Structure 1
Amino acid sequence: MASGDDGDDPIIEEIDVYLAKSLAEKLYLLQYPVRPATMTYDDVQHLAAKIKPKQQRVELEIGVNTLSPNYCRSKGEQIALNVDGTGYDEGNTYSTKMMDKQTFSSIQATTNTSRYAAAVFRKGELHITPLTGILQMRPSFSYLDKADGKTREREAANEGGDSSQDEAEEEAKAITVRFARPESEQARQRRIQSYEFLQRKQAEEPWIHLQYHSAKDSRSEHEKQYLYCQSADTSDTTELVKTPKEYLNMLMPPLAEEKVVKPVGPSNVLSMAQLRTLPLVDQVRTLMKNVKVMPFANLMGLLASGTDSTAVLRCIQQVALLVQGNWVVKSDVLYPKNTCSPHSGVPAEVLCRGRDFVMWRFTQERSVMRKEVASIIKLPPDDVKDFLEHVASPRVNRGWEFLLPTDVDFVKKHPDVAHRQNMLWVGIQSKLEKVFNFSKEDFLPKRGPSSESVHVSGEQRLKVAQDRAQENRPSLQKDLDGRRHVKHEPSGDREEPMDTSSSSSYSSTIIPNGSVNGYLGGGASLGQANGMGGALCHAASLQLTDFVTKTFRKHFVVTLNEFKRLFHLHLASMPVGQSIFSSISDHMLMDAMVHCRCRQILVPFPAQTKAAPDEQKVFALWETGEEFDKHRRLLLDLFSSSYKVKRSAVQARLAQELGDVSKADVDRVLHECCSSHAGMWYLKGTIES
């Protein structure tokens, strides 16, 4: 106790502080900044969850209540149609033909969590667990990208077949072998900091699929116990020997000691707050390098409020050129000196000239033809395609059209900038004319001295189309024959899907060979337990048999993964020191289930199923001695040929084997063994998520 004479506040209470490490490397704090705190997602259906631990990226799929009076059904159906099209495919984003779910994707709220922790207070003790990451969950609109991709695919497929064939032939002929120059250290540093490189690195880490448990679930309650320090031994507890001033300095070090690391450029998930720590010219350069074409109003919207538009105009003219009132990033920003094309190895100087020609053509008209551009700049097709995809999109029978409409308002508001940019393009045009040996008149529409507009009737167009179709029929028939030949080739060498289930999976529950949470003893392995004699082995066998019997009497159908989870919770609920089980293997658990008159149901899961191997091992209660066992066996036999069945099929099978079956019996057998989803019945634990 501190003396009252020295002026210090008296000590009212002393609290023991414990450092809990059970969840130290996998505890995340999720924030929902776009959702009011009063509207939680606790009662919302969570469909799927996955994580990339190294990048600390989390994605959640959450169901949308389509029956809510606030839900617009027509809009939901339209979005699903744009994303998935009219066809049905198991890979569709929205299987119900309606936007019935949304995805939340995370960004890091802070890169340094060393000063953050989660704390719980219980019985005069404070238990602290360090946080691994603080993530902000925001809605993801990746389905819009998929819808745009579907639209581009359809438009590209509908574009003239002759031109695409000609381009394919040209691509086959224009084969050039080049060797890239040795990469300098400066170029390597720019490459590893580039947006494309970071995208590839992020894509290399595989997703780990998780299983979501609500806050009220028994598994969640069990995991919360790990927030408390599990060690009851306090012999290694050390007293705090620091002075109050030293202790405060440890908790809150002076700001001068902190090293602020400025970001070198945005990654795929760089927050706008981090981006705005850069100088204004670097902000503009970074945004334009990633977006490539943008109206000036959009650029101002991405910058901090209050930014001077005159300063932004000075910066944008350093890194971009004006095309149809919109700003397009300069070629030398995308292709710096001493770099080369990732496709063909063409030097950056040649790439810049070719891309400048493409941009100049868009200053003259809205659309250009890819073949026409390629015939002049004479670069590999992949590079030409990159140039066009930066600023244009393919249109049916119109070639490649500029991405954005002409920004007339900007030109009217800033005539001096537009005039200066026009003079720049005049200088660029004169250089391009010398390099590629062309003149502006070469691209003007050709008209003869007596040329007049000619009207072509609908009947004439139909006849021309029929003649072309008749000419193309032999080549089309040859292509179809070739496809049939490819279709009937044997597929014996097809690669089997890789089993990604591992001990590091965040969604699997295992019984390890050792202590878990202080409840399991060390000692002999389960294989040795089978050979143990005496009362200990007999008591363990009786306890396990009793647990299996009670579990299957309650659930009737259980996957191996779920059974291990239930068994784990059973062990954790036993008082410390009273567990007589040693480490238990999967084989012993399965033997115990078979011994208790259960059978494994070999459910034919689809090849593309996401279920882990333990989730695909399904066990069911086969015999109880009751008359109703016959109903249950007939139902389970149906799942040996399909992983989902209809109610009508179950009722027909029962009626065929047992005669007249009441609706109550059908309901009982289905609810004992199955779960319903989208009009189909699945064995418990195998329902699609």
Structure 2
Amino acid sequence: MSEDDGDPVIEEVPVYLSHDLADHLFIYQYPVRPANNSFDNANIIKCSIKPEHQEVSMEFAMDTQTNNYDISHGEQIALNVDGSREKPHQERCFQSPLMDKTSLQSVKVLADIASTAVASFSGKHVVLSPLTGIISLQPSFPYLDLTEKRAREELKERGSMDFSAIEEEEDKDKQITVKFARQESERMKRARERSFNYLSMKSAEEPWYDTNYYPSTSRESEMERQKLQLSKERGEDETSSLCLKPQQYIQNLLPSLQEESWIIPSLPSNVLSLTAIKALPLSEQVRLILRDVKVMTFGQLSSLLVGCGDLVKLLRNVQQAAVLVLGNWVIRSDFLYPKESFSTNNGVPGEIMARARDYVLYLLGEADGKYIDRRQIATILKLPPEELKEILVQVARPQPSKGWTFILPQDKDFIEKYPDVVERQTLWWEAKYKQLKEAFGSRDMSPSKTRTRKRESSTSSSHVPKDNHVQIRESNTRVG
């Protein structure tokens, strides 16, 4: 943009994306409290949260000694709620003969906050921290329900109403209605799960967790606020830089309209926005994201799709769309190269491309972070150079004079946390290797007959078939 346009660029500052407060950053709104009357000096006696449903409850101590407090009215409310002071201490709502506290209960403001973040500007750079939720804290009056409940109990004890007779009369006149359950469609199920009654029921099932509250002036609060800044100790390298070119940024905001006919007919774009992806079933979300990214850790995928939600369901769907290599998830080859497809360079059938890619993934997993030789792989696969390079750049990175290694480091956390999944994937790779040997006929599947490494007895690799050797390149020969 030139200065003649009337809107010149005055200054450019780098923008960084921080995940230090991932899944823990909320914005609290107080719509009925003046902006100049903060809670810095408030006496918060209890703070509770329901993390799954993002609900917060806070109790504030009231100043009963102020001239603005109506003592007689406070005594009456406490008496109506708790009755006589003979009630056990833990069962009382108010711990004194007066109404000595008030409560705030949260209401979720926005259901979808995927595109919302907190920006921190230091004068030299901007740090964006994605939000987990925005909630509104409004006054609640739980003691009114307790007052009504106590009044009913006292009325029943005094015998003013013959509840047993009324209940017997109601039982006699009660009409019985028989309903036949019908099969619930997926659309009806989604509508039911969005209903108020269903959400209220699920919220009631989740227990409250008591938390500690720290004032904004405390040391703990200051340490958390530092996570919204780019710390000098870690520097810029450990914070994701938003370094997209202007055209790439526009394309991500407004992706081009294309049809992905082999995945979901008539779906727009090969890079859907996250909002559009999250409107799909979880299985399709996983497939679409892995199709574009090719390789991801389970932690990255879970933080993108479910957060702290149903990790078991996500893991089940990931295993249907991807294979495990060194603890990382790679999109399945037959999803990238269906049987009816052909490569764009030389028209190699998709079935051959998928088979070659599986062999490359197998070697990268066996190498366990070391290097494989592209030229020796080419002698086995007999693929055109363009097709082989297309497969390699998806899942590996080259190192001059060494070879190719897997694009991500081994995810030891996933391997240790989900050993049963790793074991199933190991068995899958063993079966896949036998299929590859049959498909390639009597051809030697090892990259080299003379320079091989025997399989080590270790759990560091996510798949280690028993009947193959992997060449680890040690020479200084330059590879493509």
Q: TM-score, normalised by structure 2?
A: 0.46
- Bigger fraction of residues in helix: 1
Which entry has the higher C-alpha Rg, 1 or 2?
1
Q: TM-score, normalised by structure 1?
A: 0.33
Q: Which has the higher contact order (CA 8 A, sep 6+)?
A: 2
